[in-house]
Chain A
Amino acid sequence: MRATLAGGNTEVRVLMTHPMTTAQSGQPLHFIQNITVKLNGGVVIEAEVSQAVSRNPVFSFRLKGGAKGDKVEVAWLDNKGESNQIETAVA
């Protein structure tokens, strides 16, 4: 995950390692359902997604303002209850 200042805002680019298998693939349905983005501990974006998101999802988000060293956290939860959380500092 990268969080960089650009044009007065913070661009967050996050990669999640996940199979994101669909019901059509013949494999067990396994996909991320919820994503939460936090800036300095406060929730700024909440997302619900489906199996239509590509394998190993990459998302870019834009946060208002921000300063070097601010803490950005991204957490996800999938349909099997597995979850992960990553954090970085704004550079």
Chain B
Amino acid sequence: MNRLRRTLLGTLAAWLAKPLSVLAAWNESAFGAKTPQDALKGIGAANPAPSKDIVIDAPQIAENGAVVPIEITSNIPGTTSLAVVLEKNPFPLAARFEFKEGSLPHVKLNVKMAETADVRVVAAAGGRHYSATREVKVTIGGCGG
């Protein structure tokens, strides 16, 4: 009984020691998807409508696939999230950002790209999904990092 109590207390202490500032929800099925289609399904955006109001700023040619700078902005009113899908990576979903009250749907980040591919950005707004793509030519793939 004492041992059980100690184990339970230990578990509780370990749990309490975890930082509560970051919510540890990570969409395993979407990030584990091996095709862009499955990644989109995983985030509930199977058939996004094409949109010109999503701006993707990325280099036409990336010499180093390990560091490809990508800047994304949604001008669709009411955008609540943006996802980045690197269509020819082994695991295409690279990131998903949720924008709450107090932030604007804009992010700049560096990603690794395995080879020349479309970068797809999916925006959610008003319960619908929209997407745009931009091709980045990769000279040396960067997934070995």
Taking Cβ atoms with an 8 Å cutoff, the residues of A that contact B are 9, 20-26, 33-39, 42-55, 57-65, 73, 75-77, 81, 83, 85
Inter-subunit contact B100/A58 (CB<8 Å)? no
Inter-subunit contact B107/A24 (CB<8 Å)? no
Taking Cβ atoms with an 8 Å cutoff, the residues of B that contact A are 18-19, 21-27, 31, 66-68, 71, 86, 89-91, 93-104, 106-113, 142-145
Inter-subunit contact B144/A36 (CB<8 Å)? no
Q: A53-B110, A54-B66, A83-B19 are in contact. Are A63 and B102 (CB under 8 A)?
A: yes
Extra contacts besides A20-B145, A47-B98 (16): CB < 8 Å: A24-B143, A33-B24, A44-B99, A45-B100, A45-B103, A46-B100, A48-B95, A48-B96, A49-B94, A49-B95, A52-B86, A53-B110, A61-B107, A64-B102, A75-B22, A77-B24
In the complex, what residue of chain A is closest to B64 when comparing beta carbons? A54
Alpha-carbon distance between A55 and B27 when the two chains are bound, in angstroms: 21
Across the A-B interface, the 3 shortest Cβ-Cβ residue pairs: A60-B108, A54-B110, A52-B94
Picked from B91, B100, B145, the residue with its CB within 8 Å of the CB of A43 is B100
Alpha-carbon distance between A77 and B85 when the two chains are bound, in angstroms: 21
At the interface, is chain A mostly helix, strand, loop or mixed? strand
Inter-subunit contact A34/B95 (CB<8 Å)? no
Inter-subunit contact B21/A50 (CB<8 Å)? no
Q: A24-B144, A61-B103 are in contact. Are A54 and B67 (CB under 8 A)?
A: yes
In the complex, what residue of chain B is closest to A33 when comparing beta carbons? B26
A-B contact count (CB 8 A): 138
Alpha-carbon distance between A51 and B90 when the two chains are bound, in angstroms: 11
CB of A87, distance to nearest CB on chain B (Å): 10
Which of chain A's residues have a CB closer than 8 A to the CB of B90? 23-24
Q: A24-B90, A61-B103 are in contact. Are A45 and B111 (CB under 8 A)?
A: no
Inter-subunit contact A46/B108 (CB<8 Å)? no
Inter-subunit contact B31/A57 (CB<8 Å)? no
CB of B47, distance to nearest CB on chain A (Å): 22
Which of chain B's residues have a CB closer than 8 A to the CB of A24? 90, 143-144
Inter-subunit contact B110/A58 (CB<8 Å)? yes
Scoring B66, B93, B100 by chain A CB atoms within 10 A of each residue's CB, the highest score goes to B100
